[in-house]
Amino acid sequence: MSTPHRAAVLGSPIAHSLSPALHNAGYAALGLDGWQYGRHEVDESTLAAFVTRLDPAEWAGLSLTMPLKRAIRPLLDTVSDTARAVDAVNTVVLDRDGRRHGDNTDVPGLVNALRERGVERVESAAVLGAGATASSALAALAQVCDGEVTAYVRSAGRAAEMRALGERLGVPVRTADWADGARALDGPLTVSTTPVGATDGFAAQLTAAPGVLFDVLYHPWPTALAAACLERGGTVLGGLDLLVHQAVLQFERFTGVERGPLAAMRAAGEAALAG
């Protein structure tokens, strides 16, 4: 009997994750028999024990969500430049010799999602929020934005962190007060990285013709801000766009296939959300 191939998403809480639906649909689409992808409730206190007992002959990789994207770093043998720049690992590839390689597919996933919708270059951009996802967003904007990025934040400490990250990434970052966040949509591209409900107050303040909004939430969908942008004729991308594009990159790294089945994985995500 052939050795099974396993992968999984780790985090806490994890029951809501759509990743198993996406990856397992990808295996089915390509006829990868013997591959299986699960989910495991793991936090910082149990991460090391879980990772160190994995059989490298069986396990191909891990997807990581909160709160593990930084906690995994001491357990890795290598870390990609992208993951190091944003201090966030969402992907671990396991070699057959047991070595663990950390990467970040959120950054290229965000770029690919924008390109799919025709957003190749913009003169300026904005980020709502300043957490871990905002760091990935800023790294992605470094690849598509020719000018300044404005980060709308709630505290002086977060503002300083975003400016420092911009310096490391080579992106000019200006910070602005969170209360003025509705102004972000006046520009060509805004990435909202905040929790559910955080931007609802901006929805009624939008101009008649907002720019492109990439709201990284996917449930509930649409958010109040996304709905307001759509009503005013704006272009909107959602969290499922990011989830699918980063997942297909993980799929390729885990399986070794050249091109993952994006359409099948997206359909699985849409079906899971509809259900």
Task: Give pTM, 2 decimals.
Answer: 0.94
Gap between the Cα atoms of 164 and 141, Å rounded: 15
Q: For position 2, what pLDDT does the model report?
A: 52
Does 132 score more than 90 pLDDT? no
In a 3-state reduction of DSSP, which class is residue 61? strand
d(CA 137, CA 141): 6
Q: Which of 270, 262, 274 is nearest to 23 (CA)?
A: 262
Cα 140 to Cα 69, 152, 174, 218: the distances in Å are: 17, 17, 16, 19
pLDDT of residue 211: 92
**Tokens standing for 229?**
């942008």
Indicate if 207 belongs to the active site.
Answer: no
What is the per-residue pLDDT across 75-119, written as a single tens digit (0 to 9) for each? 999 999 999 999 999 999 999 999 999 999 999 999 999 999 999
Please answer whether residues 235 and 117 qualify as being in contact, where contact means their C-beta atoms are separated by less than 8 angstroms: yes
**What domains can be seen in the chain, in order of their start residue?**
5-103+245-274 (3.40.50.10860), 107-237 (3.40.50.720)
Task: Please identify which residue in the block is written with the tokens 């690992």.
Answer: 89
Instruction: Return all residues near 139 (Cβ < 8 A) that are at least 6 apart.
Output: 82, 85, 86, 107, 169
Active site residue: 5, 6, 69, 266, which one?
69
How far is Cα 262 from Cα 275, in angstroms, rounded to an integer? 20
